[in-house]
């Protein structure tokens, strides 16, 4: 119980946007320098649970295998992170692992974009998801069990309304490189029209600008809406873009529902997200 209380306290401390900023910067150094540099608060937690899976495995808990199953889209339709994996997912997200995995995805995406023979006709676009792709809701999820507690539409909307979500720096790096290359970014999100203003504000605050379009779902307030068919919605919106003469040269998101469904885009990139599943 004392351990749980301490973990909870630490999670609250790390939940503040400023703490996330700290965590988000420190692992950047790790990308070049190996495992050594970790935010002190994470370091203090590491001996308790570990993010590499070894300690979890010793306890008979294979949370790393679960996460791989999620990322490979073998484990689907899940509503919460398994309770035993809350600590594992927390360490994965707040330590350097999540950032390293994201960097691998974005490095590939940038290499691909740079290899393209672009027509430069202003019709070449790249589709970006927003949550856990362009912006990170980790400050929210750190306070809600890293996905181990059931999704609460009301409290999540309250968080979104703050417009305080930090950028995922890797995605922002891709975004800016694409602008330099002349590929136009299009945001396609499960966020709803009533969240347009705050989403624009949040994106601008986090250094995103110059997008061609921001496509949101019609405003629906029904709880559990996250479980609706995101594949149908998103592929339908991409089809409209292609019908309007645009070429989707790339598409990036954290959910398989961001990148499944014709037309997917010439290439798709899947960012990690072990915190929630949207089908």
Ligand X SMILES: *[C@@H]1O[C@H](CO)[C@@H](O)[C@H](O)[C@H]1NC(C)=O
| Residue span binding ligand X (CB under 6 A) among the ranges 65-73, 96-104, 153-161, 235-243 | 153-161
The least CB distance from residue 151 to ligand X, in Å, is: 9
201 touches ligand X (CB under 6 A): no
- Going by C-alpha positions, the residue among 199, 187, 181, 190 that lies closest to residue 109 is 181
Interface residue with ligand X among 18, 74, 115, 154 (CB under 6 A) is 154
- Going by C-alpha positions, the residue among 124, 265, 133 that lies closest to residue 189 is 133
The least CB distance from residue 152 to ligand X, in Å, is: 4
Interface residue with ligand X among 3, 121, 155, 209 (CB under 6 A) is 155
The least CB distance from residue 149 to ligand X, in Å, is: 8
The least CB distance from residue 197 to ligand X, in Å, is: 4
| Residue span binding ligand X (CB under 6 A) among the ranges 64-72, 89-97, 154-162, 206-214 | 154-162
Residue 212 DSSP symbol = S
The least CB distance from residue 273 to ligand X, in Å, is: 21
The least CB distance from residue 161 to ligand X, in Å, is: 11
**Cα dihedral sign, 222-226-231-235:** positive
Q: 3-state DSSP call for residue 269? A: strand
What gap in Å lies between CA 130 and CA 199, rounded to an integer?
9
Q: Which is nearer to ligand X, 121 or 152 (CB)?
A: 152
Residues β-bridged to residue 124: 247
Q: Which is nearer to ligand X, 200 or 266 (CB)?
A: 200
In this structure, are residues 86 and 146 in contact, taking their beta carbons and an 8 Å threshold?
yes
152 touches ligand X (CB under 6 A): yes
Interface residue with ligand X among 3, 197, 201, 209 (CB under 6 A) is 197
b/e map 199-215, b = 16+ CB within 10 Å: beebbeebebeebeebb
The least CB distance from residue 224 to ligand X, in Å, is: 12
- Contacts (CB under 6 A) with ligand X, residues 116-145: none
What DSSP string runs through 93-139?
A: HHSHHHHHHHHHHHHHHHHHHHHS----SS-EEEEE--BTTTB--HH
Q: Which is nearer to ligand X, 121 or 155 (CB)?
A: 155
In this structure, are residues 142 and 15 in contact, taking their beta carbons and an 8 Å threshold?
yes
| Residue span binding ligand X (CB under 6 A) among the ranges 50-58, 151-159, 209-217, 226-234 | 151-159
- Contacts (CB under 6 A) with ligand X, residues 87-116: none
Q: Taking each helix axis from N to C terminus, what angle separates 86-94 and 96-115, rounded to the nearest 10 degrees? A: 50
Write out the residues near ligand X by the rule CB under 6 A: 152, 154-155, 158, 197
């Amino acid at each position: 119980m004392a351990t749980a209380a301490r973990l909870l306290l630490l999670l609250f401390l790390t939940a503040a946007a400023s703490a996330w900023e700290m965590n988000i910067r420190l692992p950047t150094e790790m990308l070049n320098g190996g495992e050594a540099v970790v935010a002190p608060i994470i370091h203090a937690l590491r001996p308790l649970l570990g993010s590499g899976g070894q300690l979890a495995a010793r306890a008979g808990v294979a949370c790393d295998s679960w996460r791989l199953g999620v990322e490979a889209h073998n484990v689907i339709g899940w509503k919460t992170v398994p309770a035993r994996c809350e600590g594992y997912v927390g360490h994965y997200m707040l330590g350097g692992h999540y950032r390293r995995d994201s960097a691998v995805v974005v490095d590939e995406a940038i290499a691909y974009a740079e290899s393209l023979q672009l027509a430069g006709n202003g019709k070449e676009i790249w589709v970006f998801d927003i949550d856990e792709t362009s912006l990170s809701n980790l400050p929210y999820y750190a306070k809600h069990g890293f996905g181990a507690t059931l999704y609460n539409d009301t409290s999540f909307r309250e968080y979104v309304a703050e417009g305080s979500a930090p950028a995922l720096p890797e995605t922002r790096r891709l975004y800016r490189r694409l602008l330099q290359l002349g590929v136009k970014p299009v945001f396609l999100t499960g966020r709803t029209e009533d969240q347009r203003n705050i989403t624009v504000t949040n994106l601008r605050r986090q250094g995103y600008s110059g997008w061609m379009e921001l496509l949101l779902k019609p405003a629906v307030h029904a709880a559990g809406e996250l479980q609706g068919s995101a594949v149908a919605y998103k592929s339908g919106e991409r089809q409209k873009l292609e019908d309007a003469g645009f070429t989707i040269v790339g598409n990036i998101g954290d959910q398989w529902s961001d990148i499944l469904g014709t037309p997917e885009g010439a290439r798709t990139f899947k960012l990690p997200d072990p915190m929630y599943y949207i089908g």
